[in-house]
Amino acid sequence: MTVQVKDMLLEKVATGPVSARVYQGAEYGKGSPIVLFFHGGAFLQSGIKDSAVAESMARAGSIVVVPDYNAPLGNVFPKPLEVGYSLFSYMANKRASGLGDRNSLLLVAGEEAGGNIAAGVALKARDHYAEALDGQILISPLLDPFMGTSSIRKADGIGMRQRWAEGWSHYLSGGGCHPYAAPCLCSRISGVAPALFFTAEDDPLYDETLGYADRLKQAGVGVRQHVLPAGTGWPSIYGGTSEETSTWQDSISREFGSFVKTLSIQPIASKTN
């Protein structure tokens, strides 16, 4: 499926206007799912750039909105999360006009640092606006500020360890470590939206990705996880060096599409009870 791409300004977000790049599967239609997708960049990147991950999701027939979430208030916690949650609230209220319609599922997603923001938004949505969020997709999310897992040792080999350490130091420089900032440290994770996780066998973020997935499972949250084999060029998703050609795009489209189909059953079931 071909994908249409357009840039737009989301003007009525509570924290201020936010620029965004929107990816739409050419065959999207009534009731197409809306994905609020937070880009990676080790908590340091601002600006609108092309996203191969967002394009892969759009290819499954969704509308993917990739905002420049660090621009309005800066990229030190809690500002990016505040913007992220305001974007989520705005899209939940406005999806009947402009993007999607009242039958559209609304999901949050993110890669690397953006996966952290998506997980934080999902936790905050659970606490304040649970009925509006249908699912979350966490793609090699940065969740552990202590960088203490076994798999993170591979980060040196792809040129990411120092960048992630600097990113964490910057993101948390406002002081403290709130559970929304480091979801893996959150003690209360039950009741969050169903989750789809992506990682790869050669991903330095493998352990924290699957560790958070396991915690959600234990808390009774619906979880699906997809682990790609080594050699698919996965580290390129978040800027890591990789000699392999990227071959993960079809896997994201397929698994995302299957996840959305599973979620779409839930509203139907609730209406018939």
pLDDT digits (tens, 9 = 90+) for 109-146: 999 999 999 999 999 999 998 889 999 999 999 999 99
- Torsion sign over Cα 71, 49, 63, 125: negative
Sign for the pseudo-dihedral over CA of 9, 33, 183, 169: negative
Which of 101, 145, 262, 99 lies closest to 195 in space, CA to CA?
A: 262
Cβ atoms of residues 151 and 205 within 8 Å: yes
Closest CA to 5 of 68, 49, 69, 71: 49
Residue with tokens 């609108």: 48
User: Identity (one letter) of the amino acid at 81?
Assistant: L
pLDDT at 27 (0 to 100)? 65
Across 12-26, average pLDDT: 92
Pick the residue with more confidence: 224 or 94?
Answer: 224
Model pLDDT, residue 99: 82
Maximum separation of any 2 CA atoms in the chain, in Å? 53
- Distance, in Å, from the CA atom of 270 to the CA atom of 273, rounded to the nearest integer, reads 5
For the residues 5-27, what does the mean pLDDT come to?
91
Using CA atoms, how far apart are residues 159 and 239, in angstroms rounded to an integer?
Answer: 9
Label residue 31 by pLDDT band (50, 70, 90): confident
Q: Per residue in 243-259, pLDDT tens?
A: 899 999 999 999 999 99
> In whole angstroms, what is the distance from residue 37 CA to residue 221 CA?
21
Q: Is the pLDDT at 98 greater than 90, yes or no? A: no
CB 80 within 8 A of CB 69: yes
Distance (Å) of CA 194 to CA 116, 208, 224, 252, 264: 16, 18, 8, 17, 12
234 and 248 Cβ atoms separated by less than 8 Å: yes
Q: Give the pLDDT mean for 55-83.
A: 95
Structure tokens at 44: 């340091």
Domain annotation for the chain: domains and CATH numbers: 3-272 (3.40.50.1820)
What is the overall mean pLDDT for the chain? 92
What proportion of the chain, given as a percentage, has pLDDT over 70? 93
Q: Which two tokens stand for residue 258?
A: 């299957």
Please tell me the predicted confidence (pLDDT) of residue 143: 96
Would you place residue 13 in the very low, low, confident or very high pLDDT band (cuts 50, 70, 90)? very high
Q: Which two tokens stand for residue 101?
A: 């319609």
| Percentage above 90 pLDDT, the chain | 81
Structure tokens at 229: 């084999």
On the CB side of 50, CA atoms within 13 Å amount to: 6
CA angle (209, 263, 109) in 5-degree steps: 40
Q: Which DSSP helix (H) or strand (E) runs through 264? A: helix 249-272
Please state, in angstroms and as integers, the Cα–Cα distance from residue 171 to each residue in 30, 67, 76, 177, following that order. 38, 18, 4, 10
- CA pair distance 184, 145, nearest whole angstrom: 9
Res 146: pLDDT = 94
Angle at CA 79, nearest 5°, toward 78 and 83? Answer: 120
Picking from 234, 143, 233, 230, the residue whose alpha carbon sits closest to that of residue 183 is 143
Nearest to 1 by CA among 22, 23, 31: 23
User: pLDDT-derived band of residue 94, with 50, 70 and 90 as boundaries?
Assistant: low
